[in-house]
Structure 1
Amino acid sequence: MSNGSQRSLFRRGSWPEARRIAEVLRQETIGGALLLAAAVIALVWANSPWASAYEALRDWKVGPASLHLDLSLATWAADGLLAIFFFVAGLELKREFVAGDLRDPRRAAVPVAAAVGGVIVPALIYVAVNLSAGDGALRGWAIPTATDIAFALAVLAVVGRFLPAALRTFLLTLAVVDDLLAILIIALFYTAQLSVLPLLGALVPLAVFGVLVQRRVRSWWLLLPLAVATWVLMHESGVHATVAGVLLAFTVPVVRSDRAGGPDAGPGLAEHFEHRFRPLSSGFAVPVFALLSAGVTIGGLSGLGASLTDSVAIGIVAGLVLGKTVGITAATWLVARFTRANLDEGLSWTDVIGLAMLGGVGFTVSLLIGELSFGAGTDREEHMKVAVLTGSLAAALLASVVLRLRNRVYRRIHDAEQLDADRDGIPDVYETDAGRER
């Protein structure tokens, strides 16, 4: 039970933030459904009599060879389309910490610590399983550290409709911070060869892009060529090109300019770009990546068994299902323990465990890191894909059971209290005694 003199975890945020999170959830739910559909199509196609056509599609090369961009469609999806995904994630992260409820360091500490715990523990479990495996198995240590935003939020939207908004915000922020950690891991540990000149060259269009957006320039014919140039040079440097998406996002201003008409002039540029690019990311970029990456030849039950007995697969599944649950829950508990904070009134540690389980839905970023770890077309990559799909599905099912039970509790509370909105459209719980938003 929380009180006025004691800090509480997952306390209710402001009404504008709750409204924004609800809008994000609606869009990501659709994206998650498309992502799941694309993954199912890829699996069925790769195990059908037309599997050769699927492989031909993945390996079909397009692009100018003079710029070293004659890439396969699978590579274009991983390097190009996922740059859009990470651009949106970067915008979301910056907005949360600059203008969202998480600009308060005390409130931000919980999801950040949970994300860090959700990276460290799965990695340690994977390393423990594969410590004596040899044959480059340890290169995949980062595969189970990822959380898929679209997939996780889609599951939450289906099974946790009545969960408190603070829990939804926690999962969204945790997943976004997790993506930032993933892109740092990719940049630091999965850059095989670094070309300094292209990397320095990428800073030029990036800086020009930053100057223009800081001046609130929205003209696509100016910004898009600069973004593409940054991506091309980053790709040429040897650093994974998706890093360009995050760097570009971090240059975009969040706070509205006074010259643009003050705080009531409309959304800031980061929010404007997020509204424009989130549908493209969740509705096209991520599903297409899933379509071109999730197809794996299982080979029946015997083939599935062989894949899942590989130490790499065991480490991935254990990391996603067990490591994420333990890491996120333990980190959240440690924050509560050392700050002497309690869960907000009405919440339970079962809620935290359910969300931690949901963090084990790795999928998109896990597949990306897996391809970087073992290379395309290898047996180990096939085992990795089976493990990521199995671990993500198991995490989603386990989380669904726990959160479904908690959702029934919150639904009864919701029906009993009937927290209807007033004429101003703002629910009573988000208003102060004076009728103003918190």
Structure 2
Amino acid sequence: MLLRQLLCIPPPDANTTAVLATAATGFTIRPAHDPAAAHMLLRAHPVPVGLVVLDGAADTGALDRLLREHSRTRWIALCAAAALGDAACRKLVADHCLDFHTMPVDAVRLRQTLGHAYGMAGLDPPPGEVPHAAELHASRLTGSSEPISRLRRQLHKVAAADAPVLIWGESGTGKELAARAVHEGSARAAGPFVPINCGAIPASLVQSELFGHERGAFSGAGRARAGLIESAAGGSVFLDEIGDLPLDMQVNLLRFLQEKTIYRLGGTRPLPVDVRVIAASHVRLDDAVARGTFREDLYYRLNVLTLEMPPLRERREDVPALAETFFRDHARERSAHVRGFSRGAMEAMHAHHWPGNVRELHNRVRRAAVMAEGRLIMPHDLGLDGALVPALALHGARVQAERRAIEAGLGAGKSITHVARELGVSRMTVYRLMAKHSIVPPARKREA
């Protein structure tokens, strides 16, 4: 008979262990000494039921993050009597646990609770089932504007496939969040999601970090080590800022995409790896190909399914919802007297140009929630005091510049593709701006 898996963090004391062995008949107990170890275990092999031992030494902050991230696991708390007198422990149990037991543990009652928890976990959809687009993590896709609604629809379609994905967007638009949404909505959702910032790895370490190394491959390599791509087996690897990858590493990545095998540094045998590649860049890779800094064959291997992240200035109607989401996300950090945003703050946020996109909005809201002295966040708390009129003027200038640039290109008889290349944007963006400014191509005017 296949034993059911039960995670226990941290391992209980000797007395509780004996009772647990009696209560958990039919379970294989997997101990984890701290929340970090439990996180690694759950990422590698999800477990339906988990036990959390809460005593005076429990790190409730780390446990809260763990239980929040692994909410599919049904959690049972084993609480020392003193722990229930602690507000943080009580909140942890109330927020995340299906049930709790005070110690010493009643083996009969715990056995019933474990069986109930395992049965409830069995009602969850199988990890391989693709969730509907509406079930993708809402905080990753906050907003109701047309650009973000279109992105949701595209994400649902892209997640259902298993081909490589290329995400383009300005810095701070949420490319990694979109990549996570693709992974979580795919048949690989139960597997790992491994993000890699290609621009943050020193050139001399890129091959070892991505593909791993064998023992003795270089000085200090005392044992073999799997690379980041290999660690994502069964899931997705997110190659952020892939345009910063050195050309010689681009060759190795191309070989992996073609053959689905890797060679560790110093190795001679191919290792098959089943992983989906999701790549992102804030620069246009077709332009990088033209400059000779990115391989054309790799570009076409990656550019199978594409997503374009809209900048925040093109979906200003989403700013209030995003700001409220970030305000709630940092409820623990903010001053207790701060209750929300003033009308002036909302107007200032709507008028701001947001060159740093969603990341800038997140940082300004988080800082204001901590530093505000009044009940409501004011424009100066966001660092936007006095910027309302200049921001509106800047927005108006941008609107005029967009219209003039597109009309000039089309008026000169240039194609949409040519205009998009000159402006450094995609054809889709040009069409969107034409609709925004009610611009009709000259050819269509002549037909009319």
Higher relative contact order (CA 8 A, sep 6+): 1
Higher helix share: 1
User: Rg: which structure is higher?
Assistant: 2
Shorter-chain-normalised TM-score: which range?
under 0.3
Higher strand share: 2
TM-score with structure 1 length normalisation? 0.25
TM-score with structure 2 length normalisation? 0.24
